[in-house]
Amino acid sequence: MKASIAIIAGLLFGIAGISPAFAWHLTPENKDFTGKGNTSATKSGITLKCTANFEGNVDSTGTGYVTGGSFSGELGCSGVTLGNLPWKSVAVNRNTVHIENVTFQSIIGDCGPSTIAVKLANGVISFTNVQLSGSCTASGKITTSPKLAIASGD
């Protein structure tokens, strides 16, 4: 869940390039963003479902960074903490972002650090059963504001 959030958060922005003339990047550039949505994390057969609230920014090159986050919902959600911040987020194609060093701690255990692939479409970051080190999986659907998108540099 945290990972999901992180993903979301991370979730989201960046540049990655096949070549300098055709580099995918996040938009809007030079903006702060927030992300909110449902996430879940599973470890050792225990699933923690939470509502995630992420904060971050996209820099002038279109690279995104998840800089913080909090969780609410069922018992244990408020104790979720994010590690290795900021999480760098790099767009790798027209609908995929890699979020780097996603790490979180919760009552179900420690998860990460891992690089996760998330989908970004219509300002929504989504991921399903992404694997993180620490024998964790995370899923989530995070709506960003302003709406994040992926653009090409050509």
Residue 5 has what pLDDT? Answer: 39
Q: Sketch the domain layout of the chain as residue ranges.
A: 2-152
Q: Which two tokens stand for residue 128?
A: 């399903």
Q: pTM of the entire structure?
A: 0.85
- Read off the pLDDT of residues 51-97 as tens digits, 9 standing for 90 and up: 999 999 999 999 999 999 999 999 999 999 999 999 999 999 999 99
Domain 2-152 in CATH 1.20.120? The answer is no
Alpha-carbon distance of 132 to 127, in angstroms, equals: 12
What are the start-end ranges of the E strands in 44-153?
46-58, 64-73, 81-83, 87-93, 96-106, 109-121, 124-132, 136-145, 149-152
The residue whose two tokens read 């408020």 is 78
